[in-house]
Amino acid sequence: MPIARSTVAGAVTGVVLLAGAVGFGVGLPKVSEEPTITSADLPKLPDRLDSRMQALSTVTVEDAGVTAPADKAAVPGFAERAGKGDTIAASHLATLYGAARVRSYIDAKAMGQAATTQTAPAQIAVSIVPGEAGLVIPNGPFEIQQSGANYQLSEIGGHRCAISWQQAVDPSTGMPATGTKVPASNYQAECRAERGGLAYDVFSTGLEPKELATYLDVVLERTAS
């Protein structure tokens, strides 16, 4: 008898935390003296950014809306691993910048529907460290357009952002389609802001860049003292 496999398994890739932590290290000044700010001094990140994006470590079976036994069994494990991943990523950044706070978010409902929609849910990694925002150039300063892969630096909503995406493909030719809207699922983006001596970074997969810039505003609002 075949073993039941979770259809949620492919929905949470773990790419967000890895890419967010690595990309965030670009262009930030390294700690050159004993830090005066500890991780405990940094703003706490909320369990929810809005009704859509929820901290992955808090997602329950009810939040995801899954019904298959394998999915129900898988969700708690994903949440636990996400919490540990947040802690590991924050620890990694803290060794570079003296203090850090990291939290990953996901579209929980889309996570539960991933098997039906065949689309990975939108995910965001939020990082906060002391210091200036610096440059946002995880893929270098040059715009790239090759074989459907695109990359550019942009200012969106007053925030410095780096955007990469795959152009939609024409199914009849297998080539990048022209004049078509790029689906949100084809985007990766990173935006950064600075406030009160702290640098805020958001990295996403599956969100349009304008949406990510808006979520950076949400993070700044939700963490205001």
Provide the residue type at 5 as one letter: R
Task: Identify which has the larger pLDDT, 52 or 24.
Answer: 52
Q: Which of 61-70, 75-84, 173-182 has the lowest mean pLDDT?
A: 173-182
CB contact at 8 A, 63 and 54: yes
Task: Report in angstroms the alpha-carbon separations of 176 from 59, 181, 188, 195.
Answer: 36, 11, 17, 40
Extents of the domains making up the chain: 15-28+36-222
For 104-138, what is each residue's pLDDT tens digit?
A: 999 988 887 765 666 788 999 999 999 888 777 76
Kindly report the three-state secondary structure assignment for every residue of 56-119.
HHHCCHHHHCCCCHHHHHHHHHHHHHHHHHHHHHHHHHHHHHCCCEEEEEEEHHHHHHHHHHCC
Distance CA 123, CA 172 (A): 30
Task: Identify which has the larger pLDDT, 80 or 8.
Answer: 80
Calculate what percentage of the chain has a pLDDT beyond 90: 36
Task: Identify which has the larger pLDDT, 32 or 151.
Answer: 151
DSSP-derived pairing of the beta strands 159-166 and 149-156:
antiparallel
Supply the pTM of this predicted model.
0.84
Most confident residue range from 9-18, 33-42, 144-153: 33-42
Indicate if the pLDDT at residue 197 is higher than 80: yes
Placement of tokens 């940094």 in the chain: 42
For 155-192, what is each residue's pLDDT tens digit?
A: 999 999 999 888 766 666 655 566 678 889 889 899 99
